[in-house]
Structure 1
Amino acid sequence: MSAAPSPLADWRTSPAGVHLVVSLTAGAIAGALAGPSLGGETAGLLAWVVAAAVFLLWTWASIWSLDARDTAWCAAREDPSRPIRDVAMLSISIGALVTVVVVIFRVHENPPERTALAVAAIAASWLVMNTIFTLRYTRLYYSQPRGGVDFNQDDDPTFRDFAYVAFTIGMTFQVSDTTLSKTEMRATVLRQGLMSFVYNTVIFAVTVNIIAGLSR
């Protein structure tokens, strides 16, 4: 049984479905308003950047300062909309990457604002992926039986500790000074490592293409 949350955690925590709907609505409004002047592809990229920004700001503002007790409560709280949010945000981020690849390989035909939005969309997708896995690792750790990652410390981990794990994998495709001890945790790390490889490969290819296009 999880300890009762502090008023801070209780006030900040809202259903994952609300995060998803508000983020996507903000993106859709931005894309619709920009569509007539920017065109479909550019407006689509803008919509994703805005949706991702709302999701990221809301999520990290809600969880960053929570202590271990509130982290455990948030992770253990029942919320059926979490898997829907995770799958939706990851799927849209992958779709955004595909759009970026299509757009960026015509870099010599693109106006500067479209190229800038493509770069922003890549960054947004990468940040969303690592944020989703941060939340996932937290839930796995605080599910029963508790554990799955050894942080080599006496204190219970917070969201910041799981962000360290997720972003380390996102940048290096591996864990660093933490030890995994749950099969499901290892499987999740493997999925993130594979996704990170794809993301970082796209980032490298896009960067090379932008530099080559600008030098023409």
Structure 2
Amino acid sequence: MIDRDDVAAGVATAADLIVVVLALYSLFAANFYALLAWEIAAAVYLLCTGVVIRRRVRRGTSDPRTGLLSRLSWIVPLATSLAGVNAAVVALLGQSYAEKYADSAGSAALLGVTGIVLSWLLLHVAFMHIYMSRYSESAAPALSFPEDRGPDDDDVPPREPGYPEFIYFAFTLGTTFATSDVEVRTRRMRSAVVVHSVWSFFYNALVVAVAFQVLQRFATL
């Protein structure tokens, strides 16, 4: 009998690999249509993730990807960040890129900015999945949310967090570089939090710099 968790793990990994392959292709192909194809795939990936979250929001957070599949999930934030850097280059090049690949500088800039936004969203969604996997693999609760804690934390068993909690945790880290009101209770989870915080800091700095340059360029037109 086919195990549903194995099927879900395979589908999730296949979707990740498609996004990764297209991200790397857009990076090395340096082609307008390659970047456009990656952006379409990224948008579909995010849309499907949203549908899955909506359908499973009340079913707990058990992530079917464990072991090697869980470690492979680290490739997604790396590849999407590289694709985001490539999109930033497209947005900054503007006219010179348009002369070679796109119809106009405006379309090149729009393509680049869209790629940056999609990469930013994918980065934090990917880390959300990493946190879910590490939480599922941990023998003891790796994260503790405020509503899970009573007057005496040791006497109150933590409630299983859902997708909203992990989305909140990932995007709070991605925007503030802090865990806010969530307690991180294991070393493995702390290591992921440190990587995510540092990664987000530099990527957000890139986004701000590119946004400033693009707005400045359009202001002078």
For normalisation by structure 1, the TM-score amounts to: 0.78
**1:159 is aligned to 2:163:** yes
Q: Following superposition of structure 1 onto structure 2, how do residues 32-181 of structure 1 map, counting pairs within 5 Å?
A: 40-67=30-57, 69-72=59-62, 75-76=63-64, 78=66, 80-87=68-75, 89-107=76-94, 109=96, 110=98, 111-154=105-148, 155-181=159-185
Deviations 1:95-149 (A, max 9, x none): 2222233223323545111111111111111111101111111111122313111
Distance 1:187 1:93, change over 3 A: same
Is the aligned partner of 1:18 residue 2:14? yes
Structure 1 residues not aligned, in runs of 5+: 1-8, 32-38
Q: Secondary structure at the match of 1:146?
A: coil
* Matched letter for residue 42 of structure 1: F
What is the identity, as a one-letter code, of the residue corresponding to 2:14?
V
Please tell me the residue identity of whatever aligns with 2:35: L
| SS in structure 1 of the partner of residue 137 of structure 2 | coil
Alignment gaps of 5+ in structure 2: 99-104, 149-158
Q: Distance in 2 between matches of 1:191 and 1:42?
A: 31
Aligned length: 197
- Give the Cα–Cα distance (whole angstroms) in 2 for the partners of residues 139 and 11 of structure 1: 14
Say whether the 8 Å CA contact 1:149–1:181 is kept in structure 2: yes
User: Using the alignment, how far apart are the partners of 1:51 and 1:10 within structure 2?
Assistant: 24
**Matched residue of 2:138: which SS?**
coil
Change (3 A) 1:193 1:78: closer
How far the C-alpha of 1:58 sits from its partner, in A, is: 2.1
Q: What TM-score do you get using the length of structure 2 for normalisation?
A: 0.76
Q: Which amino acid aligns with 1:204?
A: V
